[in-house]
Amino acid sequence: MTPVRRGRAVRPISIALVFAASAAVAAVVVPAVRAHARAAPVNTRPPSLVIEPGLGSRLEIAPGTWSGATSFSYEYLRCPDGGGAPDGSQCTPTTSAPLASPGVHLVVTTDAGHSFRARVTATNAAGQKTTVVSAPSAAAIESEVRFCPPGYQAGATVGELRPPARLQFDRHTQTPAVITRSTQRITLRVQVVACEDQVVRGAIVYATPTPFQMFSEAESVTDNNGWATLTLTRRRFFPATPRQQHFVVFLRANKPGEDLLGGISTRQLISLPVRLH
C-alpha cells in the first residue's frame, strides 16, 4: 500500500507576519500622505509693490508666486523711512483689516517720509497660512510728485498733473448759437481747468454728437489759455427727428498717453439748442 503524502501545514505565523508588515507600511505611508496634504502654502517668488511711491501716485501689490494656496489676503504697510524690520513688525497697516484683493493705495500727504511694504498671507484648503512681507519701497518725498505743479496759479501743463487732480470742463461756446436745418458746420470752443479752476495747457479734448452720425466727431488740444477749438461737420442723419430741439455732444478731456477712462481724464455731456422751424 502506497503511503499518502501530506502537504505541509500553513503556519499561522506567516500570515501574521504579512499583516504586520502591511500595517507597518501603512503606519508610515498614510501619515506622510496626510502630512503632505496639510503642508502650508509655499512662496516661490516674494510679493512686491508695482511702483515706487511719490505723493499722488498709486501703489499696487504684486502677490508673487505661490504653490498650495487657495486664497490670499493683502495689506499695505506704512513703514519708517528705510523700511523698518524685514518682517513688517515696525510698520502699520493702512487699513483696519486685510484686503481680499490687492486693490491700490493712493499715496497722500500724510505718507510723506514713509516707505511701504506689502504683506501677503496665503491660505490652503486645510486653513494653514503662510505670510510673506515684501522688500521696502523708497520713501515718499513730498517734492517728488505734486497733485498740481508749484506755479499752477498761472496755469498748468497737462503733463505736470497727477491723480487725484482731475481735469474739468469750465466753459464752452458754439457757433452758430442756435443750430438750424441749414447748419452745415458747428464750431465748439471748450475750456479745460484743474487745480482750483486754473487753465490747463496741452490737454486732448474729444467731441462727438450723440446719437452718432448727425455731425462728425472732432479732436483738438487746449492752448495756453486752456481752450480747445473743435469743428463738427454735418452728416446725413441730422436732424435726428423733425421735432429735434437739442443737440447733445459728448466731451472727453485727457492727458496724452494716459488711460482714457482713468488718470486725470474727465467726461461731460453738453446740450446745444436746435430750432428747425
pLDDT tens digits, 21-33: 455 444 444 444 4
Distance CA 21, CA 146 (A): 74
Query: What are the cell numbers at 35?
Result: 502630512
3-class DSSP assignment, residue 66: strand
Question: What mean pLDDT is predicted for residues 12-19?
Answer: 46
Q: How many CB atoms lie within 10 A of CB 167?
A: 26
Residue 148 · residue 162 · CB < 8 Å: no
Q: At residue 112, what are phi and psi to the nearest 5 degrees?
A: -60, 135
Sign of the dihedral defined by the CA atoms of residues 196, 201, 204, 210, in that order: positive
Question: What mean pLDDT is predicted for residues 144-155?
Answer: 57
Sign of the dihedral defined by the CA atoms of residues 33, 37, 42, 44, in that order: positive
**Considering all CA atoms of the chain, what is the largest pairwise distance in Å, rounded to the nearest integer?**
137
Closest to 203 measured CA to CA, from 216, 214, 193: 193
Sign of the dihedral defined by the CA atoms of residues 86, 92, 96, 101, in that order: negative
Residue 195 · residue 189 · CB < 8 Å: no
Higher per-residue pLDDT: 159 or 230: 230
Question: What mean pLDDT is predicted for residues 139-168?
Answer: 72
Distance CA 227, CA 203 (A): 9
Distance CA 52, CA 134 (A): 13
Domains, the chain, with CATH or none: 42-133 (2.60.40), 156-275 (2.60.40.10)
pLDDT recorded at residue 207: 97
263: left (phi over 0), alpha (psi -120 to 50) or beta: left
pLDDT recorded at residue 196: 74
Closest to 120 measured CA to CA, from 59, 76, 68: 76
pLDDT recorded at residue 132: 97
Query: What are the cell numbers at 155?
Result: 496755469
Distance CA 47, CA 28 (A): 36
Q: What's the pLDDT tens digit per position in 201-218?
A: 999 999 999 888 899 999
Contacts with 256 (C-beta within 8 Å, 6 or more apart), sequence order: 158, 159, 202, 204
pTM given for the model: 0.50
Distance CA 153, CA 195 (A): 9
